[in-house]
Chains A and B, each alone.
Chain A
Amino acid sequence: MYNQTDIIKDTTNLGPEGELVVNMGPQHPATHGVLHLVVTLNGETIKKIEPHLGYIHRSIEKMCESLTYRQFIYVTSRMDYLSSHINNTACALLVEKGMQIEVPERAKFVRTILNELTRIASHELWIGAMAMDLGAFTPFFYAFREREMITDIMEDTCGARLTMNYIVPGGLMYDIHPEFQTKVKAFIKQFKEKVTEYEDLVTGNIIFQSRTKGVGVLSAEDAISYGCSGPVARASGVSCDIRKIAPYDAYDRVEFDEIIETEGDSFSRYLVRVKEMNQSIRIIEQLIDNIPEGEFVGKTKNVLKLNKGEFYQRVETARGELGVYIVSEGATTPHRIKFRSPGFSNLSVLDHIAKGSKIGDLMATMGTLDLVIPDIDR
Chain B
Amino acid sequence: MTNEEIKAYISSHLPEASFDETGEWLNIIIPPTSLRSIATVLLGQPMQMNFLFCLTCVDNKTHLTMVYHLTSMKNRSINIVLKANLDRQNPVIDTLSDLWRTAEFHEREVFEMFGVNFTHHPDLRKLILEDDFKGFPLRKDFEDPINMIKL
Contact = CB atoms under 8 A, between A and B. Distances in A.
Interface in B32-86: 50-54, 56, 58-59, 67, 69, 73, 76-77, 81
B102 interface: yes
Interface in B83-102: 100-102
Contacts of B130: 1, 54
Interface stretch (A7-15, A264-272, A275-283, A320-328): A320-328
B54 A312 contact: yes
Contacts, number: 89
Given A309-B23, A311-B24, A336-B58, A3 B128 contact: no
- Dominant secondary structure of chain A at its interface with chain B: mixed
A109 B13 CA distance: 47
9 contacts: A1-B126, A1-B129, A54-B129, A227-B51, A227-B101, A314-B53, A323-B53, A323-B54, A327-B58
7 pairs of A and B residues whose beta carbons are closest in the complex: A227-B102, A54-B128, A348-B105, A338-B56, A340-B54, A225-B101, A245-B76
Interface in B106-151: 106, 126-131, 137-138, 151
Interface residues of A, number: 41
B84 to A, nearest CB: 15
Given A309-B22, A309-B23, A345-B105, A57 B128 contact: yes
A224 B105 contact: no
Interface of B: 22-25, 27, 50-54, 56, 58-59, 67, 69, 73, 76-77, 81, 100-102, 104-106, 126-131, 137-138, 151
A192 to B, nearest CB: 32
Given A226-B101, A336-B58, A54 B127 contact: yes
B127 A312 contact: no
Interface of A: 1-3, 53-54, 57, 59, 61-62, 66, 97, 222, 224-227, 229, 238-240, 245-246, 309-312, 314, 321, 323, 325, 327, 335-336, 338, 340, 344-345, 347-348, 352, 377
A336 B25 contact: no
A336 B83 CA distance: 15
Contacts of B104: 348
Given A224-B51, A309-B23, A323-B54, A238 B73 contact: yes
B89 to A, nearest CB: 20
A97 B105 CA distance: 29
A229 B12 CA distance: 33
B69 A323 contact: yes
Given A2-B131, A62-B137, A323-B54, A312 B24 contact: yes
Contacts of B126: 1
A376 to B, nearest CB: 9
